[in-house]
C-alpha cells in the first residue's frame, strides 16, 4: 500500500497527520501568552479601579433605601427610631425606648444591610442638624478619610 490510498471517487485520499505532527508550536504558544499578559497589564487596573466606584454607588443606593424605610417608619409612628433602637427598628418592632404606635407588621426593611465594605451603617437620632444622621464610613470603616475612605452621608446625597 502506498502513502496515499485511492478513494472511491478515483482521487487520492489524504492521510491524517500522525500524532505529534499537528498542534501549536512553542513560539505560537509564547506569542499567545505574551498577548494575554499585555492585555492583563492594560485591562486589570481599569477593572480594579471600577470596583471602588461600584461600591460607592452601591452605598448611596443602600442609604437611599434605608432612608425610605426611615420615612415610612416616621409616617406610621410619628417619630424616627432613636439611636438606641438603631436601624434594627426598621426590621423588628423596638422593645426599648419610645415604642412606635403603628409599627408596620413585617417591618420596613427585610434586613439592615452592611455597607459594601462589610461595615455597619452609622445611625444617630436625633442628629446634630437634622432629625437623624445616616452614614457609611467608607472603605476603611473609620470616620473621616479621602477618596474610597471618605464618609458617605445621607444628607449629602440630596
Residue range 54-156 forms a domain whose CATH class is: alpha beta
* Per-residue pLDDT tens over the stretch 42-93: 776 666 667 888 899 999 999 999 999 999 999 999 999 999 999 999 999 9
Domain boundaries, the chain: 54-156
Q: Which of 108, 136, 101, 107 is nearest to 122 (CA)?
A: 136
> Which residue pairs, CB below 8 angstroms and at least 24 apart, start in 91-95?
none
* Per-residue pLDDT tens over the stretch 121-156: 999 999 888 999 999 999 999 999 998 899 999 877
**Pairwise CA distance, residues 146 & 132, whole Å:** 23
CA dihedral 90, 95, 98, 103 (to 10 degrees): 40
pTM of the predicted model as reported, rounded to 2 decimal places: 0.69
Between the CA of residue 70 and those of 20, 99, 110, what are the distances in Å?
70, 15, 13
Q: Report pLDDT for 148.
A: 87
Amino acid at each position: 500500500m502506498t502513502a496515499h490510498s485511492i478513494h472511491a471517487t478515483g482521487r487520492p485520499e489524504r492521510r491524517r497527520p500522525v500524532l505529534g505532527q499537528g498542534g501549536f508550536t512553542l513560539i505560537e504558544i509564547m506569542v499567545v501568552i505574551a498577548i494575554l499578559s499585555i492585555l492583563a497589564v492594560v485591562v486589570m487596573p481599569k477593572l480594579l479601579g471600577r470596583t471602588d466606584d461600584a461600591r460607592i454607588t452601591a452605598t448611596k443606593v443602600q442609604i437611599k433605601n434605608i432612608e425610605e424605610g426611615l420615612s415610612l417608619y416616621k409616617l406610621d409612628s410619628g417619630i424616627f427610631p432613636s439611636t438606641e433602637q438603631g436601624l434594627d427598628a426598621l426590621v423588628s418592632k423596638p422593645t426599648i425606648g419610645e415604642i412606635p404606635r403603628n409599627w408596620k407588621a413585617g417591618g420596613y426593611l427585610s434586613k439592615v444591610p452592611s455597607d459594601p465594605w462589610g461595615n455597619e451603617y452609622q445611625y444617630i437620632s436625633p442628629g446634630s442638624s437634622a432629625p437623624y444622621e445616616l452614614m457609611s464610613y467608607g472603605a476603611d470603616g473609620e470616620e473621616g478619610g479621602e477618596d474610597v475612605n471618605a464618609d458617605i452621608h445621607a444628607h449629602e446625597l440630596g
